[in-house]
Amino acid sequence: MDTSLFIARLIGPLLLAVGAATLINQANMRQMATDFLTSRPLVFVAGFLTLLGGLVIVNTHNVWHGWPVIITIFGWLCVFGGAIRILIPDKVRGLGEAMLQKPNFLIGSGTAQALIGALLCYFGYAA
């Protein structure tokens, strides 16, 4: 199986499920995110795992043409996001808390995740 299809089949359903959960359970997701941000160890572990996942993607899939660019960009965003969580966790916590104060933040992020997930599912399973 092509690497792009394999990764799209992994990331697509994950983003679709998390995006849908965010839209359906906004109050619950807001509370989980608030609880998460109060734990320095969780922010660090999330950064470690995000960085690791991003490095796996960019080292196996650094493709800059066609629809697979979505996967490559996602991988690089994970690399940068993970590194930032590890290097400056207090800034990340402050930024996260500020974003959670915005009433439409979860709607926007959930919609974006669900749409990108659906697009990756389409390319991974239907194309």
| 11-49 per-position pLDDT tens digit | 999 999 999 999 999 999 999 999 999 999 999 999 999
Burial 16-32 (b: 16+ CB within 10 A, else e): bebbbbbbeeeeebbee
User: What is the mean predicted confidence (pLDDT) over 87-109?
Assistant: 94
- Residue 1 — very low, low, confident or very high, per pLDDT cuts 50/70/90? low
pTM of the model: 0.90
Distance of alpha carbon 80 from alpha carbon 101, whole angstroms = 24
- Residue 103 — very low, low, confident or very high, per pLDDT cuts 50/70/90? confident
User: What is the mean predicted confidence (pLDDT) over 43-59?
Assistant: 97
DSSP string, 1-56: --HHHHHHHHHHHHHHHHHHHHHH-HHHHHHHHHHHHT-HHHHHHHHHHHHHHHHH
Does the structure show a pLDDT above 90 at 127?
A: no
Alpha-carbon distances of 43 from 3, 26, 35, 111, rounded to whole Å: 29, 21, 11, 23
User: What is the mean predicted confidence (pLDDT) over 41-63?
Assistant: 96
Does the structure show a pLDDT above 70 at 63?
A: yes
Percent of the chain with pLDDT over 90: 98
Q: Identify the pLDDT of residue 12.
A: 97
